[in-house]
Amino acid sequence: MDRAELGALVDSVGEPAYRTRQLMDAVYRQRVESVEGISTLPQELRETLAEKGVSIGLPRIEQRFVSQDGTVRYLIAMTDGQSVETVWMPEGDGGEAGDGSEAGEQAERFAESGSFGASGAKALSAAEPTAALKRCATQKQRPSKKHNDRSMDPSQARGLNHKPQGQNQDRSTICISSQVGCAVDCQFCLTALLGVKRNLTAGEIVGQVCAVLKDQEVSPPEDRINLVFMGMGEPFLNYENFVKAARLLVEEVGIAERRMTVSTAGIVPRIHDFGGERVRPKLAISLNASNDELRTRLMPLNKKWNLEGLMAAARAYPLRTREWITFEYVLLGGVNDGPENAKEVAELLRGMRCKVNLIALNPGPGIEFTTPGAERVTEFQTILRAAGIPAFVRRPRGRDIYAACGQLKRTVEIATAPEP
Kindly state the number of chain residues that form the binding site for ligand SAH, as judged by CB under 6 A.
19
Instruction: Give yes or no: 85 in active site.
Output: yes
| Per-residue binding letters, 87-126, with ligand SAH (x by CB under 6 A) | ----------------------------------------
Stretch that binds ligand SAH, among 17-25, 158-166, 261-269, 311-319 (CB under 6 A): 261-269
Strand partners for 327: 285, 356
Burial of 79 (0-12, 13-18, 19+ CB in 10 A): exposed
Which residues have CB under 8 Å from 136's CB, separation 6+?
A: 360, 374, 377, 393, 395, 396
> Distance (Å, rounded) from C-alpha 86 to C-alpha 208?
7
Q: Should residue 67 be labelled a site residue for ligand SAH when binding is judged by CB under 6 A?
A: no
Q: Do the Cβ atoms of 395 and 135 come closer than 8 Å?
A: yes
State which residue, 23 or 262, has the beta carbon closest to ligand SAH: 262
Q: How far is the CB of 25 from ligand SAH (least distance, A)?
A: 31
How many CB atoms neighbour CB 266 within 10 A?
26
Measured from each CB, the residue nearest to ligand SAH is 406
Q: Do the Cβ atoms of 102 and 93 come closer than 8 Å?
A: no
Instruction: Give yes or no: 210 in active site.
Output: no
State which residue, 20 or 263, has the beta carbon closest to ligand SAH: 263
Residues 168-187 that bind ligand SAH (CB under 6 A): 184, 186
Q: Which member of 102, 223, 328, 337 binds ligand SAH (CB under 6 A)?
A: 328
Phi-psi region of 56 (alpha: psi -120 to 50; beta: other; left: phi over 0): beta
| Per-residue binding letters, 347-386, with ligand SAH (x by CB under 6 A) | ------------x-xx----x-------------------
Q: Which member of 173, 238, 264, 336 binds ligand SAH (CB under 6 A)?
A: 264
> Distance (Å, rounded) from C-alpha 65 to C-alpha 82?
18
Which of the residues 33, 44, 85, 217 is marked catalytic? 85
How many CB atoms neighbour CB 340 within 10 A?
11
Q: Which member of 88, 188, 305, 327 binds ligand SAH (CB under 6 A)?
A: 188
Q: Should residue 330 be labelled a site residue for ligand SAH when binding is judged by CB under 6 A?
A: yes
> Cα dist. 3→52, 279, 281, 387 in Å?
17, 15, 20, 47
Strand partners for 304: none
- The rounded radius of gyration (Å) of the Cα atoms in the chain is 21
Residues 194-233 that bind ligand SAH (CB under 6 A): 230
Q: Which member of 288, 302, 326, 336 binds ligand SAH (CB under 6 A)?
A: 288
Sign of CA dihedral 188, 398, 218, 75: positive
Q: Should residue 45 be labelled a site residue for ligand SAH when binding is judged by CB under 6 A?
A: no
Give me the residues that bind ligand SAH (CB under 6 A), please. 184, 186, 188-189, 230, 234, 263-265, 286, 288, 328, 330, 359, 361-362, 367, 405-406
Q: Which residues are catalytic?
A: 85, 405
